[in-house]
Chain A
Amino acid sequence: MVIGSIIEVTIDGFARGLLFAILGVGITLVFGLGGILNIAIGVFAIIAVIATVVILGTTSNVLVAIVLGIGFVGLLGLGVDRTLLSQVYRSEGEERILLGIFVTLGLAIFLEGILYVYYPLSYSLSHGVPSLGILGISIRGSTQVTIITATIILGLLFIFLQQTYLGKATRTVFQDEMGAELSGIEPRRIRSLIFVLSTVIAGIAGVLYSFSRQVTVGTGFELTIFALLVAIVGGVRSLRGTALAGIFLGLVVTFANWLIGAYVAKVVLFVVAILVLTIKPEDMT
């Protein structure tokens, strides 16, 4: 029944969209706070998967391995923040934006280069959740896990930003750095926290992505592109816009995939992004 297929594709698209959304939010958070466009976000996502696979060599508990893998990526993010990003934060304004782009690009390529040597294969994780059948529509386990996890993350993020002190401090730095400093908030610490948070979110996204397909080191670049497109289309400083843009683009690419085919779907995604960028660009300074 065609309607059943359409519903299944919509649900899949929605799951994909939520995945794009949390990746995009990872970009928006860091850029909004410090003007650094984290091009290495995709690599962080893949490192989480690879770390989990490596840890699964010692323990057989998938959940523990995943938590440790994501934790590893968070630590890596902390290290990068303390060393590289400190250097980038020394610049200001547009110079910092350019510097951020090239330094994170160099970081992404550096990390990929190392990974290619030690972990050149493709990896995937299993979630152990069975498909669900409702009213003749079947939803895959990976789709369920993705939707639930991503929604929880977005929800937690929202609560964090709206209700907690740290979250409000973050929003203050977002809006007016000088004012935040005058209120006794240390922007540098907030930026570190948010950067680590974004790498953890990226790690989770990577793990979710690996539930439904094989990932390689090269997938990292692909995920970065998705994240960048979503963030830019949604407005690099607007979290709500990014989340919505993610869902929108996820649906677009999944439907294009279903209706036309894999390679054209990608072209469609880029064309849609290019169109949106030309018709509705934002003032990013």
Chain B
Amino acid sequence: MSAISTFIDGRSRRDYTLIGIAVVLAVLPLLLAGNLTHRWRLFTSLLIFSILAIALNIVFGHTDQLYLFLGALTGIGAYTTALSANAVGLSPWLTLPLGSLAAGLICLIVSYIAAKRRMTVILISILTLSIQLAFMEFFVGARSITGGSTGFNFSGLRIVFIENALGVSSAVVLYYLLLAVFVVILGIYTYLMRSKFGMAFNAIRQDEVAAKSRGVNVVKHKTLAGLVSGLMIGFVGPFYAQSEQYIVPGMFTFEVIDLLVLIMLILGGIRTMLGPVIGAGVLLYLNEVLLHSVLDGFSVWRTATLGLLLMFLFLYFRQGVVPFYEQTVRSKAATLIENRVKPALNRSRE
């Protein structure tokens, strides 16, 4: 058997999904965005929020740690990368790992303490919310370091060489760079959840005491989940800043980041592979519609609509789009094929 057929036979459905979504996201903006920088930036937002949602999926979806400080973590990643690059005179590409590590370290500490002290979901949520607010005060107040609420320009994550070589704008290059990051992160998520870590996460989530009695190290696994999420969030922070070409505290508030990411994750389907990206897509599309609404003045109702959506989602649609699709649409299609189409085909053969 040739190497290629062995390779293809060994791939599972998840691998094809990963490749599929990468291809779709690579081609889609070429069709829809064309030359409009604004649209490329929308697609970039899609990737950024998808990554954040994947991170939240790992830490909240799989290990029940309700992190409400994604905004602060994104900010820490962005500020650390940008400020250290400025301070040492290097390109942000080199200080990118620093931003990731900073956020990862904070999550490591938070998850470790929370797991060690056996904190409940509410406690973790209020603890992380406090951290979010504390960091927001710091970003705004420490003017000499962060530039306060005025912020500063940031456009260090560009590859001008490619822009000139291909004759495209920086927005396009940023998108494809981020797409590569997204595919890697989605890959990490998929393989993490398919591994023994994923099984441990599941066990911990369903019955922590039972899991512990079977020898699962709860603290280690929760801490690991936190660390991985933190590293992901810290890594995407500078790219977020690059897409805005600016770093200002208002970009990292609870309302701007955490709230949206939460809704996206639930809407798309918690603990699923494509949930984060689908949820992000739907919500960002909705956001665009609401912000630039044809209905005069509807955009002021954006906040109220988000609140309403959050309530509705959690009360009536907690599973999200992906499981809904799997359970209803696909199973109905499968039943239809079994009961109607196949017999019809068999009869026509006789």
Residues of A within 8 A of B (CB): 37, 84, 87-88, 94, 97-99, 101-103, 105-114, 116-117, 225, 228-229, 232, 236, 263-264, 266-267, 270-271, 273-274, 277-278, 281-285
Is B306 touching A273 in the complex (CB atoms < 8 A)? no
Docked Cα-Cα span, A17 to B311, in Å, equals: 32
Docked Cα-Cα span, A72 to B176, in Å, equals: 54
Docked Cα-Cα span, A63 to B239, in Å, equals: 54
What is the distance, in angstroms, from B318's C-beta to the closest C-beta of chain A?
8
Known: A113-B301, A263-B140. A106 touches B127 (CB 8 A): no
What are the interface flags for B289-312 relative to A under an 8 Å C-beta threshold, 1 for contact and 0 otherwise?
000000000001111111111111
Binds A, one of B11-19, B117-125, B215-223: B117-125
- Of chain A, the residue at the smallest CB distance from B314 is A102
Docked Cα-Cα span, A44 to B320, in Å, equals: 30
Is B315 touching A103 in the complex (CB atoms < 8 A)? yes
The answer to whether the Cβ of B174 comes within 8 Å of any Cβ in the partner chain is: no
Interface of A is mostly: helix
What is the distance, in angstroms, from B209's C-beta to the closest C-beta of chain A?
12
Is B126 touching A232 in the complex (CB atoms < 8 A)? yes
- Of chain B, the residue at the smallest CB distance from A263 is B141
Residues of B within 8 A of A (CB): 66, 113, 117-123, 125-127, 129-131, 133-134, 137-138, 140-141, 255, 259, 262, 300-312, 314-315
Is A274 touching B310 in the complex (CB atoms < 8 A)? no
Is A106 touching B314 in the complex (CB atoms < 8 A)? yes
What is the distance, in angstroms, from B49's C-beta to the closest C-beta of chain A?
18
From the candidates B119, B125, B304, B311, name the one contacting A84 in the complex (CB within 8 A): B311
What is the distance, in angstroms, from B116's C-beta to the closest C-beta of chain A?
10
Which residues on the B side are within 8 Å of A264 (C-beta)? 141
Is A106 touching B125 in the complex (CB atoms < 8 A)? no
- Of chain B, the residue at the smallest CB distance from A266 is B137
What is the distance, in angstroms, from B311's C-beta to the closest C-beta of chain A?
3
Is B302 touching A284 in the complex (CB atoms < 8 A)? no
- Of chain B, the residue at the smallest CB distance from A236 is B122
Is B307 touching A111 in the complex (CB atoms < 8 A)? yes
Which residues on the B side are within 8 Å of A229 (C-beta)? 126, 130
- Of chain A, the residue at the smallest CB distance from B134 is A270
In the complex, 8 of the A-B residue pairs with CB atoms within 8 angstroms, ordered by the A residue number, are A101-B66, A106-B312, A110-B307, A117-B304, A229-B130, A281-B119, A281-B123, A284-B122
From the candidates A103, A263, A271, name the one contacting B311 in the complex (CB within 8 A): A103
Is B129 touching A225 in the complex (CB atoms < 8 A)? yes
Is B314 touching A99 in the complex (CB atoms < 8 A)? yes
From the candidates A102, A236, A270, A274, name the one contacting B137 in the complex (CB within 8 A): A270
Is B127 touching A277 in the complex (CB atoms < 8 A)? yes
Docked Cα-Cα span, A99 to B317, in Å, equals: 12
Which residues on the B side are within 8 Å of A88 (C-beta)? 315
From the candidates A99, A105, A116, A284, name the one contacting B120 in the complex (CB within 8 A): A284
Docked Cα-Cα span, A98 to B61, in Å, equals: 12
What is the distance, in angstroms, from B265's C-beta to the closest C-beta of chain A?
11
What is the distance, in angstroms, from A124's C-beta to the closest C-beta of chain B?
24
Docked Cα-Cα span, A109 to B308, in Å, equals: 8
Which residues on the A side are within 8 Å of B120 (C-beta)? 94, 97, 283-285
Known: A106-B314, A285-B120. A113 touches B305 (CB 8 A): yes
Given contacts A101-B66, A113-B307, 5 further A-B contacts (CB under 8 A): A102-B262, A105-B310, A229-B130, A232-B126, A274-B130
Is A37 touching B122 in the complex (CB atoms < 8 A)? yes
Docked Cα-Cα span, A37 to B130, in Å, equals: 16
Known: A103-B314, A112-B307. A274 touches B134 (CB 8 A): yes
Is B133 touching A225 in the complex (CB atoms < 8 A)? yes
- Which of A110, A228, A232 has the most CB atoms of chain B within a 10 A radius of its CB? A110
Is A97 touching B315 in the complex (CB atoms < 8 A)? no
- Of chain A, the residue at the smallest CB distance from B297 is A117
- Of chain B, the residue at the smallest CB distance from A264 is B141
Is A98 touching B306 in the complex (CB atoms < 8 A)? no
Is B134 touching A106 in the complex (CB atoms < 8 A)? no
Known: A232-B126, A270-B137, A271-B134. A87 touches B315 (CB 8 A): yes
Known: A107-B311, A236-B122. A281 touches B117 (CB 8 A): yes
From the candidates B118, B119, B121, B137, name the one contacting A267 in the complex (CB within 8 A): B137
Known: A112-B307, A116-B303, A263-B137. A101 touches B127 (CB 8 A): no
